[in-house]
Every structure is written in structure tokens, then in C-alpha cells.
Amino acid sequence: MKTLTLSAHAKLNLTLDILGRRPDGYHELRMVMQTVSLCDHVSVTLTERGGITCRVTGADLPCDEHNLAVRAARVFYAALGLEIAGVSIELTKRIPSEAGMAGGSADAAAVLRALRELTAPALMDKELERIGAAVGSDVPFCVRGGTQLAEGRGEVLTVLRAAPRLFAAVCKPDFPISTPALFARADGVTLTDRPDTAAMLAAIEKNDAAAMCASVKNVFEQVLSEEQRGRIETIKRGLLAHGAESAAMTGSGSAVFGLFREESACRAACEALQSERLQTFCTEFV
């Protein structure tokens, strides 16, 4: 048997803009996304038994086709025209679920990278990203990670210069937010307070951490329900009060992050804000 264990890194949205609804039903997005050190661990083993099996520790998640890691394995073999060998997937979860941090997509990307290494090492990143797009919109980004501009429905990627090294205090409240519901609400309102993506790209290119922090913004915050917006704003104010240079929700939430120059300040904010209703994680850009 061959086994490979990889880290599956979470992502943060430094910017997120919705440009409109597409004829195919998806939304046209423009986002700057960043990989952070918070990660799951994904082990993929090729076995002699046929089929795909999955085991998850650290979270209550399905182990069938509703799990993106399982779906990724099936899509990988179909894309390469290979018969599915025995594949055993073990996920050790640390990335919170329903957080807007691409935990499921990161696991799927790790499965794709592991299967490439184990069965088709000559396969290029671009091809692996194409396969990932059939699994989920965030999977292509998670294949390569780093700092990237994501467009289309999230699968059209431009690799950017690495962002300045910053620390992020991630706060996950005790409620989920429905991504389809947020998109539906966005279709019914005029989004006025959009991120300046060009300013974010210029700040990254200049390695200007202050300008980058000043450009952090997520349009989804405008279409939250009143109760959700109140909770998110309270978390943001808490992060800023504890020294964050900027704070925003990531993805469709419900996790909120604050950016710090120093790890000690980030950890202090996490310790101060941790509660029964709020999980906190100190992480950094990678």
C-alpha cells in the first residue's frame, strides 16, 4: 500500500466582490484570496480493495459523495480515464466548518495532490486545477494556494506576489450562514460599498502591509440578515479594539478575521475574544 499525508490549508478572502449573476446561474466574482497556516491533515492510501472509503476525525461530517474529498477522488479518476483503485481517505479536521474558509475545498485539493503524486506525477498544476473546478469553485485555488486573484466563479486564477507576512485572528461564531441565501439576497439589492480590488492588488505588489489592510472588504457583509450583521459587526469591533489593523468576514462566513503585524498581539486578541459562543484561531499567511 502507498500512503501520502498532506496539509490542507484554509483560506481567507482579503477582498470579495460580486460583479453580477451569470447566464449559467453562477455569480461572477472578483476576490483576492490568501492561504493561512490553519490546516487539516489529509492521508490518502491506495489499497487493493476497490472503491473509495473515508474516515473523519475532529468533526461530524459525511463520508459519502457529500464530502468534497470523496468527490475529488472520484472526479480525479474519471478525468484521467482510469479505473478507480482502492482509495482510503482519512481527514483530521482543524478548519472550522461553515466558516467561509474553504475547509472542504482544501481537503479536496489535498486529495487531488496526493492522488497525482501517487498515480500521475507528471500531471501539471493547471490540469489539476481544471479537475478541481469540477469538484468545487474554491478547489482550484486550494490546489496551489498562496496569494491569488480569483475571478469567474472562483476558478479563474492569477498568481500574485506573496502578500506581506501577517497574522490573522480568526473568530468563528456559533452560527452558520447559508451561502445560497446570501447570493439570493445579493441579487435583490444594489451593492454600494465594494472593495477596491485594484488598490489591494497594488498594495500586494508594493509589499505595503498598511495599504493592504486598508483595502480588506467583503460585500457579503452588506446582505447579511440584521441579526447576523449585528453579530459579525460585534466581532469586528472586538478585533479592532484588540489591535487588529483591519477586520472582515471571510467568504460567505460566518468566520471573521482580524489582521496583525505581530504574533503576540494576534494571540492576545484570540485569548481575549475566545468564549463559549466564539472559537478563535491564531494563524498566519503562508
Q: Active-site residue numbers?
A: 11, 138
CA distance 133 to 265: 37
Q: Count Cβ atoms within 10 A of the Cβ of residue 227 and give its class: 0-12 exposed, 13-18 middle, 19 or more buried.
A: exposed
Nearest to 104 by CA among 53, 153, 141: 141
Rounded to a whole number of angstroms, the distance between the first and last alpha carbons of the chain is 31
Pair type for strands 167-173 and 256-260: antiparallel
CB 38 within 8 A of CB 281: yes
The one-letter code for the residue type at 64 is D
Task: Give every CB contact of residue 65 below 8 A, 6+ residues apart in sequence.
Answer: 71, 74
- Extract the C-alpha cell encoding 228: 447576523
Phi–psi pair at 95, nearest 5 degrees: -70, 125
CA distance 10 to 283: 10
Task: Give every CB contact of residue 153 below 8 A, 6+ residues apart in sequence.
Answer: 22, 26, 27, 28, 29, 137
